[in-house]
Amino acid sequence: MSKYRVLLFEGRARQSLPLAEAFKKMDCEVTALCESKLDVAYVSRYFDNKLIGVCSNTDEEGTAKQVEELVKTGEYDLVVPTTDFSAMILAKYRERFIPYCHVASNEWSVFQIAADKNKTMKVCTDCGLPCPRTLFDVDSIDKVTGLQYPIVVKPKTGYGAIGFKKVNDRVELEKLLDGLSAEEIRQFVFQEYIPQTDLQYECAMFMDDNNEAKTALVFSKNRWFPVEGGSSTLNITVERADIVESCTKLLQAINWRGAADIDLIQDPRDGTAKIMEINPRVSGSVKIAFIAGTDQARQMIELAEGKDVTAYREYEYGWRLRCFQTDLLWFLKSKDRFKAKPSWFSWKRTREQIFSFRDPIPWFAFSIKGIKNYRSEMKKRTQ
pLDDT digits (tens, 9 = 90+) for 142-181: 999 999 999 999 998 875 555 678 999 999 999 999 989 9
Q: Look at residue 197 and tell me whether its pLDDT is greater than 90.
A: no
Model pTM? 0.92
Please, what is the average pLDDT of the chain? 94
Q: Look at residue 1 and tell me whether its pLDDT is greater than 50.
A: no
Phi/psi zone of residue 70: left (φ > 0), alpha (ψ -120 to 50 degrees), beta?
alpha
Q: Residues spanned by CATH 3.30.470.20 within the chain?
A: 200-352
Choice among 68-82, 107-121, 220-234, 367-381 with the minimum mean pLDDT: 367-381
Contacts (Cβ under 8 Å, ≥6 apart) of 224: 200, 230, 231, 232, 233, 330
In angstroms, what is the C-alpha Rg of the chain? 20
- Residue 211's pLDDT band (boundaries 50, 70, 90)? very high
The CATH number assigned to the domain with range 5-108 reads 3.40.50.720
- Helix, strand, coil share of the chain (percent; to 5): 35, 25, 45
Q: How far is CA 156 from CA 115, 117, 152, 190, 199, in A?
A: 8, 5, 12, 9, 23
Residue 370 pLDDT:
85
Amino acid residing at 53? G
Pick the CATH number of 200-352 from 3.30.200.100, 3.50.50.60, 3.30.360.10, 3.30.470.20: 3.30.470.20
pLDDT digits (tens, 9 = 90+) for 17-71: 999 999 999 999 999 999 999 999 999 999 999 999 988 888 999 999 999 999 9
pLDDT digits (tens, 9 = 90+) for 120-141: 999 999 999 999 999 999 999 9
- Homologous superfamily of domain range 133-192: ATP-grasp fold, A domain (3.30.1490.20)
Separation between Cα atoms, residue 214 and residue 55, nearest integer Å: 31
Q: SS3 string of 200-211? A: EEEEEEEECCCC
Percentage of residues in the chain having pLDDT higher than 90: 88
Q: Look at residue 374 and tell me whether its pLDDT is greater than 80.
A: no
- Nearest Cα to 19, choosing from 202, 206, 201, 162? 206
pLDDT digits (tens, 9 = 90+) for 272-320: 999 999 999 999 999 999 999 999 999 999 999 999 999 999 999 999 9
Q: Residues spanned by CATH 3.40.50.720 within the chain?
A: 5-108
Q: Residues spanned by CATH 3.30.1490.20 within the chain?
A: 133-192
- Residue 380's pLDDT band (boundaries 50, 70, 90)? low
Mean pLDDT of the region 183-189: 93
Q: Which is more confident, 381 or 346? A: 346
